[in-house]
Amino acid sequence: MYTAIEELRLLTATAGNRRTETGIPGVAMVKGEIPEHQLAGVYEPMINLIVQGGKTLTIGNRVLHFDAASYFVMTIDVPATGVVHQAGPERPYLAVSLTLAADKIAALLADLPAPAQVADEASGFCVCPVTPELIDAWVRMLRLMSRPDEISALAPAYEREILYRVLQGPQGWMLRDIAMPHSALSRVRSSIEWIRKHYAEPVDVETLAKTAVMSPSAFHRRFKAVTSMSPIQFQKQIRLLHARQLLIANAHNASSVAFEVGYESASQFTRDYSRFFGRPPAKDASLIRATLRATRR
């Protein structure tokens, strides 16, 4: 008997083992084994639906597990590491994602009644159970891959429905916060943007707090609640992710990379890198380059 989730699996089965564009604005998919180094990076605001298999994400001090019965909502840019899990022999990991845009969420909210109660929540990400209505909306969206002439007319409507279904879910308040420029979450997001752009510079928490219109202690608490890490820890992970990219490109040795990303001590860089990625810099980069060469053959 036909089920929507079965059709969704067929539609996503054409993806590759890295982010695969669908031709639909903001929509991408992925299939199968994904090297762990590709899953370590800065995740941008999105809705990520697992179609088959599962995934584990580590963000700061939180470890999140989600499978084909759930979807993941990210409302901030945050560094994370991940592992995907296959569903079994001949049943690869399958997932589809929608990049979130604040203006589209705001336009939808303008047509909806205000919530009876505004949630005073904190985290910038969560895992939620999927609903049949949400799956149906995704099926209609991905069917457009075979009907490209209909994308411009119908994709915005299906995107709007996906956003609506998530807004109606248990963590819908998170999408509302994206569209509210003066919310505490939005102020933390501005600080995140600054750290991402100036990751090699010292972080002055007091200045960031002043920009966010919070006291330093309140800002620190809010930032950690949203990202599951302190501003300094956040910056450190951004630095390490950039360092890894430089090392993989084989542009510099570990010591020069350490100073380039803002470290004052090469030995401290090596310790932090080994703790975060599980291997010292040179060995980690060498293994990743070997993996990349093997996949290109």
Residue 182 — φ and ψ, nearest 5°? Answer: -105, 10
3-state SS class at 178: helix
216: pLDDT strictly greater than 80: yes
pTM for the whole thing?
Answer: 0.90
pLDDT of residue 14: 93
d(CA 75, CA 197): 18
Q: Return the CATH superfamily for domain 182-297.
A: Homeodomain-like (1.10.10.60)
DSSP 246: H
The CATH H-level (homologous superfamily) assignment of domain 4-178 is Regulatory protein AraC (2.60.120.280)
Helix (H) or strand (E) holding 29: strand 27-31
Every domain of the chain and the residues it spans = 4-178, 182-297
% of the chain exceeding 90 in pLDDT: 75
Residues recorded for the chain: 297
Name 36's Cβ contacts closer than 8 Å, sequence gap at least 6.
81, 82, 83
User: What's residue 187's pLDDT?
Assistant: 86
